[in-house]
Structure 1
């Protein structure tokens, strides 16, 4: 069976999942989709996919099932709950979870699936909505090496940097590390921009001055201009970063890892969430720093 002859089930059509699903349709995969919301399902149907009413039906009619969901509780419900994947999937099939839920959570789901003869690959992603649309996001993979290679073409349709990190859960470990670094970049940039404003320096001139130097980061390249303009249209929700930092601090405690920076960033994003700003891009942490500094 060629890669595109496989029927692909795709559950979760959110800010990252929907464009990834569209890329699979455009690559001539037969796609069966499901989401709790009608609008993205209808949009994918108009794009050439077919809809199924439940995760169980998606699994029963697919050769491979992909989930792309917000949190661990959603993955557990879709995978193991009533009308879930496990009720429709056959032994010998593969489920690929592209959500960010942490290594402990995916290993718990994998244990249930393996008991039913189903193999799971964890493949969380890093990249904005634009990265998902343009298929250049990074995909960090945990799973059996042979199984991962058998599905590599599928991953490469959705992402530009596809790396198997190790066995089950390794992709989640890599994603947690990725977001620890991304959060540190973003809060440091927000802090520096507020410092510049309070010190009477034009923020745009600051960015021009430090670009290309030791302070060059992904955050500086992709978010500084919008942060200065006060524009925080979400490419990655602040509430998602808060969720991911909860995973990082929880698992860091379990592993005995010192997390002085990550724990502080967790508290900053918690405060942003509690102020009702979780629907901003995670660069919206700038607004919290401005409040703390007494800036309008």
Structure 2
């Protein structure tokens, strides 16, 4: 499927590094919106798919940075982002004055601040703009985007954010986006664990699981997990919209930051250990709602409908 007829409508060339479960649909949405997109990924297959869709292929992060106006990264963790930015053929080596780097990964706020300083030394700007909404949000362009960095730079890139997301918020200086994302994950994981415990409890007590979900969704317990995941959870469908291993990584960021800033995070620490158990039991590639399986293991039962 080619979109070349739209390619030069926008006059802004975008580099997109990290074409994974989230990055690939986000990059496709930018192509659909008429942007020239140069993609790079550690494995080649998603790059080939992007080229077929109307994008171009970059040879390295440096090559991408040399060919575009704005570089977007959507990568698994702090270590990978640091490598992609700082290695010999990384973004820093190819970035030039006046450019913007938008990191949409979820990484440590302090790492973000350090990378932003390095990019600023090259006369370029960085926004940390982590995302929430899972694979569906990435495909539909309805992500929640939390951005840190210079407000004028944020405003300049609003056209891109509006293609990829629905709720776009400037949260403060560099690092503030990552801090907000940590807050997001604290609440999301609490929902996932809470709903899991409720469903396993309902199963053991002999209640109708679908009725329980219907009954509590409309009241004070109503939340994203009940609306978007509970019906799949009781079918044992844990196909990933967001990997449990990424939730674990995000909770490590939150608990580490809690140490750093002297904030007790008692509930988050429990969620952290439960997601660690997802990893150690080989379920890291399940959806983050799959944490229910750990609760089921502890209870010696499965909360399923026939």
Query: Which residue, 83, 87, 92 being the options, matches 1:77?
Result: 83
* Counterpart position of 2:45: 39
Q: Distance in 1 between matches of 2:299 and 2:284?
A: 20
**Most deviating of 201-210 and 41-50:** 201-210
Give me the whole-angstrom Cα distance separating, in 2, the residues matched to 1:6 and 1:227: 42
Q: Distance in 1 between matches of 2:118 and 2:9?
A: 27
Residue 237 of structure 2 is matched in structure 1 by 231
- Contact 2:100/2:124 (<8 A) preserved: yes
Is the CA contact 1:3–1:154 (under 8 Å) kept in the aligned structure 2?
no
- Partners of 1:28 and 1:92 lie apart in 2 by 22
Q: 1:28 aligns with which of 23, 34, 41?
A: 34
Aligned partner of 1:142 in structure 2 is 148
CA contact (8 A) 2:13 2:36 kept: yes
Q: Distance in 1 between matches of 2:135 and 2:122?
A: 34
CA separation of 1:168 and 1:288: change in aligned 2, threshold 3 A: same
C-alpha offsets along residues 128-172 of structure 1, whole Å, 9 cap, x if unaligned?
A: 111111101100011101111011011100001111011111110
Q: 1:112 aligned to 2:132?
A: no
CA distance in 2 between partners of 1:209 and 1:170 (Å)? 37
Residue aligning to 1:185: 191
- Unmatched 5+ residue regions in structure 1? none
Deviations 1:177-198 (A, max 9, x none): 0000000000000000000011
User: What secondary structure does 1:246 align onto?
Assistant: helix
The equivalent residue for 2:165 is 159
Alpha-carbon distance in 2 for matches of 1:109, 1:225: 41
Q: What's the offset of the Cα at 1:4?
A: 1.7
The answer for the alignment partner of 1:205 in structure 2 is 211
1:115 is displaced (CA, Å) by: 1.7
TM-score, normalised with respect to structure 1: 0.98
Contact (CA 8 Å) 1:3, 1:153: kept in 2 or not? no
Q: Is the 8 A contact 2:17 2:73 kept in 1?
A: yes
Which 4+ residue blocks in structure 1 deviate beyond 4 angstroms? none
1:194 aligns with 2:194: no
Does structure 1 residue 89 correspond to structure 2 residue 91?
no
Q: Is the counterpart of residue 261 in structure 1 residue 261 in structure 2? A: no
RMSD: 1.0
What's the offset of the Cα at 1:102?
Answer: 2.2
Q: Which structure 2 segments of 5+ residues have no match?
A: 1-7
What is the DSSP-based 3-state SS (H/G/I as helix, E as strand, rest coil) of the residue aligned with 1:37?
A: coil
Contact 2:101-2:127 at 8 Å conserved across structures? yes
Q: Per the alignment, in what secondary structure is the counterpart of residue 234 of structure 2?
A: helix
SS of 1:205's equivalent?
Answer: helix
Within 5 Å, give how 1:47-62 maps onto structure 2.
47-62=53-68
Q: Distance in 2 between matches of 1:85 and 1:215?
A: 44
Cα drift, residue 3 of structure 1? 8.5
Corresponding residue of 1:102: 108
Q: 1:285 to 1:92 in 2, by over 3 A?
A: same
**Retained in 2: the 8 A contact 1:238–1:283?**
yes
Aligned twin of 2:220? 214
